[in-house]
Amino acid sequence: MAAAFKPLPPGWRFYYLLHPSITVVLGTLCPNGRPNFMPASWNVPVSEEPPTVAVAVDRESYTFECLEHLGEATINVPSHDQVDKVYALGTVSGRDVDKVKEFSIRLEESEKIKPPRWAETIGVIEGRVYQKVDVGEVRLYVFEALGVYAREGLYTKWGWDFRRTNVLLHGAGRTFFLVGRMLRARV
Ligand SMILES: Cc1cc2nc3c(=O)[nH]c(=O)nc-3n(C[C@H](O)[C@H](O)[C@H](O)COP(=O)(O)O)c2cc1C
């Protein structure tokens, strides 16, 4: 017989039940006039019509301030080989550091919004804030996807071509996972 469910011990984080979670990097344009980039693994598609994506942003982050300043962001999808830079972008604040300079982030102009894209990533959604709701310490931003772009050759009608690239699934702290085996449900 399978072992019984047990409640998590005190101090263990409930949300790891829902990890690993794909990591995106939010690109914003800030009150100081500079672009800023922050990794966010608490993100999810919300609706198809209109196409929306929700991202939970800590109200103490500089990204929060930047989103309140200009309600637009690029939702950049980094590949697995960008792991070090993605993690590093989450260890400092754009309030203290010009992350674009510090981490040599190559910028590319967006087509529909003002904040730039991170040029080296494999995909990007250009989003405008559609709705927001405060929950605990975060503001959950629902972005309408105004433009959606993927790197040629890495994307198919069914999503990323994992024979050619991979994404960063955030586990805990500095640990990430890759997408591994494919399973198909029987009909
Ligand atoms: C892999 C990873 C995922 C993260 N996910 C989120 C997230 O979903 N929401 C959030 O508010 N912060 C998240 N963080 C923390 C922010 O990225 C971090 O606080 C960052 O330094 C904020 O930068 P800023 O002050 O320039 O906005 C994450 C950090 C890492 C490393």
Does the CB atom of residue 42 touch ligand 1 within 6 A? Answer: yes
Q: Which of 11, 28, 4 is nearest to 129 (CA)?
A: 28
For residue 6, report the distance from its CA to the centre of ligand 1, in Å.
Answer: 30
Does the CB atom of residue 39 touch ligand 1 within 6 A? Answer: yes
Does the CB atom of residue 100 touch ligand 1 within 6 A? Answer: no
pLDDT beneath 70, residues of the chain: 1
Query: Is residue 8 in some structural domain?
Result: no
Query: Is residue 152 in some structural domain?
Result: yes
Owning domain of residue 58: 14-177
Cα of first residue to Cα of last residue in the chain, in angstroms, is 29
For 93-141, how does the pLDDT look when each residue is reduced to its tens digit (9 = 90+)? 999 999 999 999 999 999 999 999 999 999 999 999 999 999 999 999 9
Burial of 23: CB neighbours in 10 Å, binned 0-12, 13-18, 19+: buried
Query: Is residue 121 in some structural domain?
Result: yes
Hey, which of 61, 101, 138 would you mutate to test ligand 1's pocket, going by the most ligand atoms within 8 Å of its Cβ? Answer: 61
pTM over 0.85: yes
Looking at residue 1, what is its pLDDT?
67
User: What CATH number did the domain enclosing 123 receive?
Assistant: 2.30.110.10
Query: Is residue 116 in some structural domain?
Result: yes
Number of domains in the chain: 1
Hey, which of 22, 38, 69 would you mutate to test ligand 1's pocket, going by the most ligand atoms within 8 Å of its Cβ? Answer: 38
